Amino acid sequence: MFINLNLWDTAGQEEYDRLRTLSYPQTNIFVICFSIGNPSSYANVRHKWHPEVSHHCPNVPVLLVGTKRDLRSDHETVKKLKEQSLVPTTPQQGNSLAKQVGAVKYLECSALMQDGVHEVFLEAVRAVLYPASKKNAKKCVLL
């Protein structure tokens, strides 16, 4: 089977909001990423990215990815976050957010360490080729 992946890394700046959404039609999956070492990046998933993609493409699956996993054990990053009474995002927080936004899965990776990157692409393809069946939230039983 031949698979052709076209990736668009869209700009997050506010001035690109209207332009960015022009790239959304015919999207098969959104890979929403946040930096594990940047709590505001994590918050932006809930407050910016997920609302935007679910508004423009409500039926397109989302894969949530925590990037820069290596920062979780980076002393300098941990120290800077601690000075602000913050910590790197935990896997549990990532999984929780994935459930909240209805993502098909939560994964973590580190491009620096070449750890988990391949799995992100495999899971994105898998989610498109083999979509999870939508379970009906409400069921009606007729007797």
Query: What's the pTM?
Result: 0.89
pLDDT at residue 63 tops 60: yes
Query: Confidence band (pLDDT; 50, 70, 90) for 105?
Result: very high
Contact 46, 34 (CB under 8 A): no
Q: Answer yes or no: is 138 within a domain.
A: no
Query: Confidence band (pLDDT; 50, 70, 90) for 17?
Result: confident
Structural domain for 106, as ranges: 28-129
CA 63 from centroid of its chain's CA atoms: 5
Q: Say what the pLDDT of residue 8 is.
A: 83
Neighbouring CB atoms inside 10 A of 81's CB total 17
CATH of the domain at 70: 3.40.50.300
Q: Answer yes or no: is 77 within a domain.
A: yes
At 85-96, the pLDDT tens digits run: 999 999 999 999
Question: Could you identify the residue written with the tokens 């580190």?
Answer: 110
Q: What is the mean predicted confidence (pLDDT) over 51-79? A: 97
At 34-55, the pLDDT tens digits run: 999 999 999 999 999 999 999 9
Tell me the residue ranges of DSSP E strands in 9-123.
30-35, 62-67, 105-108
Token output for 98: 């994935």
Tell me the residue ranges of DSSP E strands in 26-132.
30-35, 62-67, 105-108
Q: Say what the pLDDT of residue 137 is.
A: 45
Q: Say what the pLDDT of residue 11 is.
A: 72
Q: How many domains does the chain have?
A: 1
Q: Answer yes or no: is 16 within a domain.
A: no
Question: Could you identify the residue written with the tokens 């990053």?
Answer: 77
Q: Answer yes or no: is 35 within a domain.
A: yes
Contact 108, 120 (CB under 8 A): no
